[in-house]
Amino acid sequence: MVEMDRMIRNIYDMMGNIEREFQSMRRMMHEELMQPAMDIYETDDEIVLQVEMPGVKREDISIEISGNAIEISAEKKATKEENIRGYYHKEIVSGKLYRRVELPMELSLERIKAKYNDGVLEIRIKKEKEEKKRVPVE
């Protein structure tokens, strides 16, 4: 029975260590790189991405394309800290935002338009008109 108690304690210790590691990784990931919320929808003519980026300035947003992938990054700068009645209070997070999305088509700059308004980045990607192509049979 003593051996079983020792094994159970070891398992709980390992689980506690794993949980601490995960918490540490979550903190590091949250501080270093945040993923903004995103909606993607499709119309007959285009694919639309809407990305929440409140508190980000337009000039701090970068959109890059490569093949069928679009990468969106920005930096949310730190806000002024407040010291009220001798204590420190800060809930608004600052840091780097990043999302990468692969779409079912090759992308080109000519077909992409982006605008940023009220903390939401909207990217509209025009679809190419699909033409039926006849394959000759030999």
Predicted TM-score of the model (pTM): 0.66
Please give the backbone phi and psi of residue 41, each rounded to the nearest 5 degrees, phi first.
Answer: -140, 165
Question: 11 and 58 share a domain?
Answer: no
Query: Would residue 135 count as lying in a domain?
Result: no
Q: For the chain, what is the mean pLDDT?
A: 83
Query: Would residue 131 count as lying in a domain?
Result: no
Mean pLDDT of 76-84: 65
Separation between Cα atoms, residue 72 and residue 78, nearest integer Å: 19
58 or 17, which is more confident: 58
Question: 18 and 61 share a domain?
Answer: no
Domain limits at 43?
A: 35-126
Token duo for residue 126: 């025009």
Q: What is the pLDDT of residues 91-121, one digit of tens each?
A: 667 788 899 998 888 888 899 999 999 999 9
